[in-house]
Structure 1
């Protein structure tokens, strides 16, 4: 299969923080600010969006490794933007640099690794024990 991806692909995803996005609501803490798991989900959504148009038919990508530094608290009502940039392609392995910002402030940053897989095979194997 010819490599459909090349470094440099980017995308961003925006979120207005609501009560359901807070650490209290998610169960990852007891404070009413944007929860780390929600930041992670937003960052992954940006990685998916960055390569969505280049995916070969019958394939998808799955997250396999995440490094995330959550640097600042974000209260309800504020808007955050997750940005992903594809930095490395190694066969079926894709590496993204991610950042989440609120205005000029960095809320979180890190990297996400995803793997290109056959969608049907992956779904079929998902229920099997190893």
Structure 2
């Protein structure tokens, strides 16, 4: 399998924080602020969307590791975004640097590992 991925590729995913994204709604906290699970999901989405266009048909990636810090809170109604940057390619294992921001500041940072899989083969093993 030949990959057209290159170190340094980046992708941005953005959204507006809703009450459904809040810590109290998801049960991860007691306040109506942007939840850590939703920040992580946004970071994973930015990573997945970065890689997918470069994969052969019938292949995708699955998340296999996260090392994330949620460093600042964000109010409902604010725009947030995550930026994923491909920093390492080791055969089928990919490492991405990820950062998250709101309109005022950086809110999260870390690394994310994804693994390239053949869809049918992967599902067939479950």
TM-score by length of 1: 0.93
Matched-pair contact (CA < 8 Å) for 1:17–1:76: yes
> Partner of 1:34: helix, strand, or coil?
coil
**After alignment, is 48-57 or 77-86 more displaced?**
48-57
Paired position in structure 2 for 1:76: 76
**Where in structure 2 are the equivalents of 1:1-130 lying within 5 Å?**
1-126=1-126
CA distance, structure 2, for counterparts of residue 121 and residue 23 of structure 1 = 36
Q: CA deviation at 1:104?
A: 4.6
Query: 1:21-73 CA deviation, whole Å, 9 max, x = no partner?
Result: 00011111111000000000000000011112101111110000001000001
What's the RMSD between the two structures over aligned residues? Answer: 0.9
Return 5+ residue gaps in structure 1 as ranges.
Answer: none
> Partner of 1:76: helix, strand, or coil?
coil
CA distance, structure 1, for counterparts of residue 107 and residue 52 of structure 2 = 25
Return 5+ residue gaps in structure 2 as ranges.
Answer: none
Q: CA deviation at 1:88?
A: 0.5
CA distance, structure 1, for counterparts of residue 4 and residue 94 of structure 2 = 11
CA distance, structure 2, for counterparts of residue 51 and residue 79 of structure 1 = 24
TM-score by length of 2: 0.96
CA distance, structure 2, for counterparts of residue 3 and residue 54 of structure 1 = 7
